[in-house]
Amino acid sequence: MATPQIDNLNVVPFVSVDNMMKLVLTIGVETVICGIAEQIESDFKRWESFDKTARIASHSKEGVIELMPTSDGEVYGFKYVNGHPKNTKEGLQTVTAFGLLADVDTGYPVLLSEMTILTALRTAAMSAVAAKYLAPKGAKVMAMIGNGAQCEFQALAFKTICGIDTVRLFDIDPVATDKAVLNLQKSGLTVIRTHSHQECVTGADIITTCTADKQYATILTDNMVGSGVHINAIGGDCPGKTELHKDILLRSDVFVEFPPQTRVEGEIQQLDEDHPVTELWKVINGDENGRTSEQQITLFDSVGFAIEDFSALRYLLNAIKGSNFYDELDMIADPDEPRDLFGMVQRAKANL
């Protein structure tokens, strides 16, 4: 893949939250999700060309701060991200993030961006890409348990990429469901408010779980899950945080991004280390089977992986070209003589 090109090596394009919102609204939320999904599929097809490492995490009682790096040998990327479920009660975001792309040949950064909004878009895109290969044919109804910040993005991604026409909503906080119903009222989806986990999943072809609390939880019990469904489990994303009863995992064919990370952070942290899972990139490449029968329960145990963020940033870098939706940051020192950094600092006195 070609190294990103910028006109001036001494400034770095920066996409702020304000510009990200303007870009997304100008292009369209669903169009952006589709674009990121296409980039993710393209990058997953060349999975073996990437450096791969489980994210570097600093855990605390209240949450986690993580660094997620990768490189394809030509472009390097990383994301800084936190996850603090208690933040919502304080009027703060559970997840905040920023990310960077750099040219491997020079080490110069070529993009810096907010990734709080971009992560929500790429998480939804990743879920829909997985469902494209794993969900039952003709799936039309999705249950969405957990109606927080990710809810609407997931609903729109599944509508646009997978063809669902109905979303059933449940959250233990009815205010969160009120918010989701309002935000989705002009989405083209039939939106149904439900009043329990069991009611929410009734009649659903796809079940998405996306709750925030950092605890071993049982959002879905075994008796709630019938044959033939696809489960999109995206809430469990760190040690000590799960959403599904262990018996559901034992009945399902489990698909993951990067096993060394998922076994520590995902739903499968509940299972033995040798429990078989299938890497999603192999399904996308046709090397492994995805859904093979109408009765099969497929489960995408998604914790998020650095290559997905790399894909989102690659999409963004292309999307801002020729637009006004970024600022130029003076981040790179540019002395007249590369070895005379001190002299450059001294000469700046003239401008004080």
**What pLDDT is recorded for position 68?**
97
- Give CA separation, 14 vs 49, 287, 320, in Å: 27, 38, 10
Closest by alpha carbon to 218, among 198, 192, 191, 193?
Answer: 198
pLDDT at 166: 98
Tell whether domain 124-305 is in CATH 3.30.70.100: no
Paired sense of beta strands 56-59 and 141-145, if any: unpaired
Q: Are strands 56-59 and 64-71 parallel, antiparallel or unpaired?
A: antiparallel
Give CATH 3.30.1780.10 domain extents, the chain.
12-118+307-334
Given 43, 171, 205, 237, the catalytic residue: 237
DSSP characters over 137-198: TT--EEEEE--STTHHHHHHHIIIII---EEEEE-SSHHHHHHHHHHTTTSSSEEEE-SSHH
The reported pLDDT for the residue numbered 219 is 85
- Give CATH superfamily name and number for 12-118+307-334: ornithine cyclodeaminase, domain 1 (3.30.1780.10)
- Residue 8: per-residue pLDDT: 63
Beta-carbon contacts of residue 30 (< 8 Å; ≥ 6 apart): 156, 157, 159, 160
pLDDT, residue 212, reads: 63
Q: Where in the chain is the domain with CATH 3.40.50.720?
A: 124-305
Q: How far apart are CA 242 and CA 268, in angstroms?
A: 9
Question: How many residues are listed for the chain in this entry?
Answer: 352
Separation between Cα atoms, residue 118 and residue 80, nearest integer Å: 12
pLDDT at 238: 67
Q: What is the pLDDT of residue 215?
A: 62
Q: Which residues are within 8 A (CB) of 197 and not within 5 positions of it... i.e. 6 or more apart?
A: 145, 170, 219, 220, 224
Per-residue pLDDT of the chain (352 residues; tens, 9 = 90+): 444 455 566 799 999 999 999 999 999 999 999 999 999 999 999 999 999 999 998 988 888 899 999 999 999 999 999 988 889 889 998 889 999 999 999 999 999 999 999 999 999 999 999 999 999 999 999 999 999 999 999 999 999 999 999 999 999 999 999 999 999 999 999 999 999 999 999 999 999 999 866 566 788 989 999 999 999 999 866 677 788 999 999 999 999 999 999 999 889 999 999 999 999 999 999 999 999 999 999 999 999 999 999 999 999 999 999 999 999 999 999 888 999 999 999 988 888 8
pTM here is: 0.93
Q: Is 237 a catalytic residue?
A: yes
List, in order, residues 6 or more apart from 34 with CB less than 8 Å away.
Answer: 125, 160, 161
119 touches 79 (CB < 8 A): yes
Among 161, 180, 164, CA closest to 31:
161
Q: Could you give phi then psi for residue 293, rounded to 5 degrees?
A: -155, 160
